[in-house]
């Protein structure tokens, strides 16, 4: 039986294989862009940070907020004190789009993460061209050569890189390619089930000096406080914010002292 991850990666790799655009041409276009917003610096300050996510649906939960206005939601997140914004651009599984990211980029001055399944060099360059400041690389989705190549290409393109891990072995792979922002996703990408203890358990393997981000499964202030106390500088939160009646207050509550 194919898993969620199998199906998503199969689709993205098929799309990448059918992409006939020249990587050199895309690189040339990227070289003409101005500097990106500093995603890492926005998370590495003296206090905890929230990466607030614009997310219309998920494969496991279905529709969350299909009619959301991405720019307006980003402004509400910013008003609540979010440090960065994450935008899903995967259409089929998450209802997102590059247009959502561009709308967010235009609406706020915060750095923006493109949340998607990056499987090619053109994916990395597209991330920069559509206006994102940070690209997501998922260790479980890439072999060693791909992870190293795409990480290096992203840095050359002026992007920050959030390298997503799920266990200590994947953390080691992230460190080996020079990752300076490492996320621990508490959601198993095979079953899509959440293990609320995973980030605390795996986070201890992330070296000092690397920005640590806990992803998925943050249901409210209690979860966020526990993760900040465990040494994470940031939490990436989607479903609980997208479905909140007051997104601004929901972000603010995650940052309140425990």
pLDDT at 210: 97
Q: 3-class SS at 117? A: coil
Q: Which of 55, 58, 120, 122 is catalytic?
A: 55
pTM: 0.95
Q: Which of 49, 53, 86, 212 is catalytic?
A: 53
Indicate whether 146 belongs to any domain.
yes
185 is annotated as an active-site residue: yes
Q: Which of 185, 212, 239, 240 is catalytic?
A: 185
User: pLDDT grade, residue 46 (50/70/90)?
Assistant: confident
Judged against a pLDDT cut of 90, whether residue 7 lies above it is answered with no
CA gap 48, 213 in Å, rounded: 10
Question: Of 40-54, 61-75, 183-197, 220-234, where does mean pLDDT reach its minimum?
Answer: 183-197
User: pLDDT by residue (tens digit) across 165-184?
Assistant: 999 999 999 999 999 999 99
pLDDT at 96: 93
pLDDT at 134: 98
Q: Which of 49, 120, 122, 216 is catalytic?
A: 216
Indicate whether 164 belongs to any domain.
yes
Indicate whether 13 belongs to any domain.
no
User: pLDDT grade, residue 150 (50/70/90)?
Assistant: very high
122 is annotated as an active-site residue: no
CB 160 within 8 A of CB 128: no
Indicate whether 6 belongs to any domain.
no
Q: Which of 49, 120, 122, 215 is catalytic?
A: 215
User: pLDDT by residue (tens digit) across 222-258?
Assistant: 999 999 999 999 999 999 999 999 999 999 999 987 6
Indicate whether 34 belongs to any domain.
no
Indicate whether 33 belongs to any domain.
no
Give me the mean pLDDT over the 63-85 stretch.
Answer: 95
Number of domains present in the structure of the chain? 1
CA gap 66, 63 in Å, rounded: 6
Q: Which of 49, 58, 86, 115 is catalytic?
A: 115
Judged against a pLDDT cut of 80, whether residue 108 lies above it is answered with yes
CA gap 232, 225 in Å, rounded: 10
CA gap 247, 254 in Å, rounded: 11
212 is annotated as an active-site residue: no
105 is in which domain, residue-wise?
39-255
Indicate whether 221 belongs to any domain.
yes
CATH number at residue 155: 3.20.20.70
pLDDT at 1: 47
Tell me, rounded to whole angstroms, the distance of Cα 223 from its chain centroid: 19
Question: Of 90-104, 137-151, 153-167, 190-204, where does mean pLDDT reach its minimum?
Answer: 190-204
Give me the mean pLDDT over the 100-117 stretch.
Answer: 98
Q: Which of 49, 58, 122, 164 is catalytic?
A: 164
Indicate whether 108 belongs to any domain.
yes
CB 94 within 8 A of CB 88: yes
């Amino acid at each position: 039986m194919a898993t969620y991850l199998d199906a998503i990666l199969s689709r993205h790799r098929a799309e990448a294989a059918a992409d006939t655009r020249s990587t050199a041409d895309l690189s040339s276009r990227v070289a003409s862009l101005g500097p990106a917003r500093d995603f890492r610096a926005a998370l590495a300050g003296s206090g905890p940070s929230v990466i607030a996510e614009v997310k219309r649906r998920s494969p496991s939960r279905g529709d969350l907020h299909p009619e959301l206005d991405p720019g307006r939601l980003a402004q509400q997140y910013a008003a609540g004190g979010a440090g960065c914004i994450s935008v899903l651009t995967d259409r089929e599984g998450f209802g997102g789009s590059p247009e959502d990211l561009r709308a967010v980029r235009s609406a706020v001055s915060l750095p923006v993460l493109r949340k998607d399944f990056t499987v090619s060099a053109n994916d990395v360059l597209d991330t920069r061209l559509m206006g994102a400041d940070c690209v997501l690389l998922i260790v479980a989705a890439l072999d060693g050569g791909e992870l190293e190549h795409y990480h290096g290409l992203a840095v050359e393109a002026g992007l920050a890189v959030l390298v997503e891990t799920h266990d200590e072995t994947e953390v080691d792979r992230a460190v080996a390619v020079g990752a300076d922002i490492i996320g621990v996703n508490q959601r198993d990408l095979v079953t899509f089930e959440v293990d609320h203890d995973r980030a605390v358990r795996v986070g201890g393997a992330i070296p000092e000096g690397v920005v640590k981000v806990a992803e998925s499964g943050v249901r409210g202030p209690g979860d966020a406080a526990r993760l900040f106390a465990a040494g994470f500088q940031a939490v990436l939160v989607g479903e609980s914010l997208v479905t909140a009646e007051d997104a601004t207050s929901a972000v603010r509550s995650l940052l309140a002292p425990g």
